[in-house]
Chain A
Amino acid sequence: MTSKTGIATLACMNKGTVFVTLAVIFLVASYFISRTVRENRTVVIYVSHDQDYSQPVLDAFEKETGITVKAVYDTEASKTVGLTNRLIAEKGNPQADVFWNNEVTRTIQLKREGVLEPYIPQRSNRIDPIHKDAEGYWTGFAARARVLVVNKNLVAEPNVSQSLESLTNIQFKNKVTIADPRFGTTGPHLAALYTIWGEEKFTTYLQHMKNNGIYIAQSNGNTRDMVVSGEMMVGFTDTDDANDAISEGKPVRMIYPDQDEGAIGTLIIPNTIMLIAGTKHKTEAMQLIDYIISPETESKLAHGKSAQMPLLSDVDVPDNVPAIETIRAMAVSWEDVYTNLPKVLDIAESVLLQ
């Protein structure tokens, strides 16, 4: 070995040693930091529900029980890829203890992927079977409904549509918007329509909507904003998005479609709470689930801007939150909605998204 090579080797080894030393310090520091955290009573929850509505609930649980709640929140900008796919990817070594989802079909996907473990909350027997899993893998609470948000300045009340099918009329040409059905609650809504109407009527409906110039927006929030701004007359959205705008005094009203006698009704979408299989903090996780499935929590969510409808009875709600029984709901099972979803997405892609 020449002196030149020796010098070069020494330089490299010193640099390499520095790097290795730094890496070891990094790893050791991480171990001690995370170990300190784990020693306290803790529960880790992944939350797809909006942070500003869910965080007060979790903060209250933390205060009452002394259990530290560590939450990971999602954003609609991630197209709901974030948490559900994170849970599936982490299946082999789960980090979360509880998942608070804001809809049902992705919850069923998690069940099918083996990510969940059955747990029946204490008050589960007070919830309608349609809003919970028969085997106890998930439980619904604090529901939203699929609604139409309508610009009051553009659509006079007597002419307001109360049927989804009437949106194919010429008066709504180029003035109706719906979110991309591949993400969020729009897909399950269309899948529910497919389940009730069948393939032929569903496909024809989508084609008529396409011919009538329906605009595909980024999200339910986006459809609401377009109606608020007057760019669109009518938008498909959820009650929480519509209530956001109404509570801020925007010139919109909310309509529960197809509520007449004999009509198909609208889709009720509960939040769902579930226990993650292989959880590291099972006791705390079950305590949190029981706390969330409670009249107090549902009352908080009903009083919030999202105005979510309790599924438990005798819950204190404000005047603007209807009782779930007063809304004509679509008579579909979530398992059927989930099963039909891939076919519905194929049709929606070929008709609406071309």
Chain B
Amino acid sequence: MISNSLLLTGRELTVLQHSFIIGIFGAFFATIIAAILTLLWHQPSYQRLGILRYSVIIPLLIPPFLHALTWDNLLIVLSQTGFLNSGTYVASLRSMTGIIFLLSLAYFPLPLLIFLNTLRSLPRSSIDSGLLATTPGSTLWHIARPLLTPAGLTGFLLTFIFCFTTFDIPEYFSVPVFVTEVFAAFSARYDTVRALLLSGIPVVLTMVVMTILIKRFVGRRVFFSPIISPAYIFRIKSPIINGVLWGFYMLVIIASVIVPLTSFIIQGSFFSASVRHALFSSREIIFNTVWVSVWGGFVSVMLSLMVYRWIYRWTAGRIIFLSLFAMPAITFGIVCIMVFNQPFLSFFYASTSMLILAYALRFVPIVCETLYTYYLSINPQLFDAAKLHSKGGLSYIKTFWWPLTKPALILGWMIGFWLIVSELPITLLIQPAGFQTVTSRIYIFLHYGSQEFTNALTLSLVVLSLLPILVVFAAFAYEDSKT
């Protein structure tokens, strides 16, 4: 069943428009949320929260679909109990506006992590000089903002790609989006040629958006100091502004963390014997998910170093390679099967290693982008000077390259880790027989309407996913205390 026409139909153009709007606005609001929370992060009052500072990462660990389910159920309950006067709020959530709201909540930690990582090497001397000469607001706008623009651009682009290619939240609310047309081409019409053609459209659009944004917002390269600055890079003394920031933080945390987690806990029925049995019988799946994600993130970082060196550090390479991430995951999975499912590779293809490699390849653009943003702020002559003065080889890596690159690599691994933990389409296509992940198990439970099992598993996933990330942040905190 091959389509006679390679042109987009009216419906496909309409849903492409939907996806584009969702992508642009979802990314915009997520980046704004991240920028505001970045301001708060380095205030003494926020630092006193200790480990609770990292609560802002939790939304990333919850599959976006579950954000939608939680909020939908909450608004329905509030409408039915009369707390909300009508179903207007429910209708608003089940619209493009609601989808943008939910995706912003689900993905703001991504640009936030990138901002924070860049902020660690922001030259404090430039900020201090600015504060001596002008007002804090002017310093923020004229000095800090341009220095953070490349990081903001990275966060925006990555979030744009996620929002643009999302399908689970829009599908739940019956808002048609473009990726569903790719599914339909594969599954309803078995038109692989058309499916591949449609899969290329998000890639091309992302390339265009990226080129425009880079030309418009990224000017000359600015090099930072390689010395990691201590915390409190930018203190805000005004109590009113601090109050506003804290109020904003509370709203975001309530909407993106407290509401879903409370829902999971309440509906998780942890004391129920059947739920405890389901969790216990899923322990192998939970373990499999964690170790595959750990290794997948590691392999992704290793591959990213090679890709960065050979392709990504040039602007054209960056644009093309990052845009490839906009290819729908289902298409990527099918391509992986076509490439790797060869008779002479059977032993590899049938093993978990293939799944790890597929994950790693899929998320290499993301890790490369974090490397790129980080390296952008470092004078390349420092590397040349280090190579001249070191003995080379392991000495160069140990004394210069690793300490300098470590923050970016660890961030890349973390982002790869949580992306893999919540990944579904590639998992279904590539997972070896007998292997299953928690995310696919959650979606299976969801189909039965087994909310309590779903919530229990999701909560378990969030807890487990936090542990390695908290270890990493504890390591950073220890290093901060030494400098």
Binding site for B on A (CB under 8 A): 4, 7-8, 10-11, 14-15, 19, 22, 26-27, 29-31, 33-35, 37, 44-46, 50-52, 70-86, 88-90, 92-93, 95-96, 106, 109, 113, 180, 182-183, 187, 215-219, 221-222, 224-225, 228-229, 244-245, 248, 305, 342, 345, 349, 353-354
Contact = CB atoms under 8 A, between A and B. Distances in A.
29 contacts: A4-B388, A11-B393, A26-B353, A30-B348, A30-B351, A34-B348, A34-B351, A70-B434, A73-B440, A75-B424, A75-B428, A77-B447, A78-B428, A80-B187, A81-B330, A82-B429, A85-B186, A88-B190, A89-B337, A89-B338, A90-B341, A93-B343, A95-B341, A95-B433, A217-B174, A221-B446, A225-B449, A244-B448, A354-B11
Contacts of A80: 187
B1 A342 contact: yes
Contacts of A14: 393-394, 397
Interface in B376-391: 384, 387-388, 390
A44 B243 CA distance: 60
B269 interface: no
Contacts of B342: 92-93
A52 B387 contact: no
A217 B353 CA distance: 37
Interface residues of B, number: 61
B431 A72 contact: yes
Interface stretch (B125-133, B176-184, B197-205, B221-229): B176-184
Nearest to A87: B337
Given A19-B306, A96-B433, A221 B448 contact: yes
Contact of A11 (B337, B392, B428, B447): B392
Contact of A79 (B183, B347, B351, B444): B183
| Listed residue (A81, A89, A106, A305) with the most chain B CB atoms within 10 angstroms of its CB | A81
B382 to A, nearest CB: 14
A82 B65 CA distance: 18
Contacts of B338: 89
Contacts of B302: 19, 22
Contacts of B343: 93
A180 B170 CA distance: 13
Given A71-B433, A79-B180, A345 B188 contact: yes
Given A81-B330, A90-B341, A95 B350 contact: yes
Contacts of A88: 190
A217 B428 CA distance: 23
Interface in B60-83: 65, 76
Question: A-side binding surface: helix, strand, loop or mixed?
Answer: helix
B101 interface: no
A27 B432 CA distance: 16
A230 B39 CA distance: 45
Contacts of B341: 89-90, 92-93, 95
Interface string B427-452: 01101111010001001101111000
Nearest to B188: A182
A185 to B, nearest CB: 12
Contacts of A81: 183, 186-187, 330, 425
Contacts of A305: 448
A353 B11 contact: yes
B349 interface: yes
A10 B449 contact: no
A323 to B, nearest CB: 26
Given A81-B187, A183-B183, A73 B436 contact: yes
B308 to A, nearest CB: 12
B347 A31 contact: yes
B15 to A, nearest CB: 10
Contacts of A106: 187
Contacts of A46: 433
A82 B449 contact: no
Contacts of B396: 7, 11
Q: Which of B11, B346, B429 has the most CB of A within 10 A?
A: B429
A183 B433 contact: no
A344 to B, nearest CB: 10
B172 interface: yes
B-side interface mostly: helix
Contacts of B172: 218, 222
Nearest to B181: A182
A219 B434 contact: no
B424 A77 contact: yes
B397 A15 contact: yes
Nearest to B335: A89
Contacts of B184: 182-183, 345
Interface in B259-318: 302, 305-306
Q: Which 9 A-B pairs have the closest CB atoms?
A: A70-B433, A70-B434, A82-B428, A182-B188, A89-B337, A30-B353, A7-B392, A75-B443, A77-B443
A15, A33, A35, A224 — most chain B CB neighbours (10 Å)? A15
Contacts of A92: 341-342
Contacts of A27: 348, 353
B387 A4 contact: yes
Given A22-B302, A73-B444, A85 B168 contact: no
B235 interface: no
Contact of A219 (B76, B346, B447): B447
B81 to A, nearest CB: 14
A85 B187 contact: yes
A84 B176 CA distance: 23
A83 B425 CA distance: 11
A18 to B, nearest CB: 9
B388 A78 contact: no
Contacts of A84: 187
B385 to A, nearest CB: 10
Contacts of A354: 11
Given A70-B434, A78-B428, 10 more contacts: A7-B392, A11-B396, A30-B354, A50-B448, A82-B428, A85-B334, A93-B342, A183-B188, A221-B446, A248-B449
B434 A71 contact: yes
A73 B427 CA distance: 11
B347 A34 contact: yes
B406 interface: no
Contacts of B334: 85, 89
B171 interface: yes
B189 interface: yes
A72 B333 CA distance: 15
B429 A86 contact: yes
